[in-house]
Amino acid sequence: MRLRIVAVAAVAVLAFYAVRHKAELPAPPDPTALILSMRNQVQPFRFSLGTEPEQPHCDAPLTLRVHVVDAAGQPVDGLKIEANVLMIGTDHGSQQLTLHSKGRGNYEGRVTLEMAGSWDVDLIGTKDGKRARERLSIEVGPAQGSPRSRDDDDDDS
């Protein structure tokens, strides 16, 4: 009987202590803020890539257009963006260029690619000690006026 009283008293003291100190615990962090903070640490910037013309052709100047947003989806200005454009599996080498800011998270650079096919565009953006890297791809068509290009046009009729 005495052991039961001691056990009940111990449980009562522990329960009182737990309830009293539970109110002193800090509030849990906001899940959205926590996710954004983690995403910002892993990949502080995200890139999207477009071209002008929209359907580029080899041996013709091409503008790479990159839009950059932060972890919260807001446009990022003031980045230094380096692009390395290469065709995997060929010995054509790669072309490096620096993209220039156009404002509101938009950056551009010009390049001429000598072969039709899939090209990888490795982008590296840096700002205030933060760095992000992403590989995107573009499809480059045959040179305009080439026999393959005219054949493709005939198929559309």
The answer to whether residue 157 scores a pLDDT higher than 50 is no
- pLDDT(107) > 90: yes
- The residue type of 43 is Q
Amino acid letter, residue 120: D
**Model pTM score:** 0.68
Per-residue pLDDT averaged across 7-11, rounded? 65
Distance CA 4, CA 126 (A): 67
Q: Which domains does the chain have, with CATH numbers?
A: 45-155 (2.60.40.1930)
Banded model confidence at residue 133, pLDDT cuts 50, 70, 90? very high
Give the pLDDT confidence of 56-82 residue by residue, as tens digits: 999 999 999 999 999 889 999 999 999
pLDDT score, position 34: 62
Highest mean pLDDT among 2-6, 70-74, 88-92, 143-147: 70-74
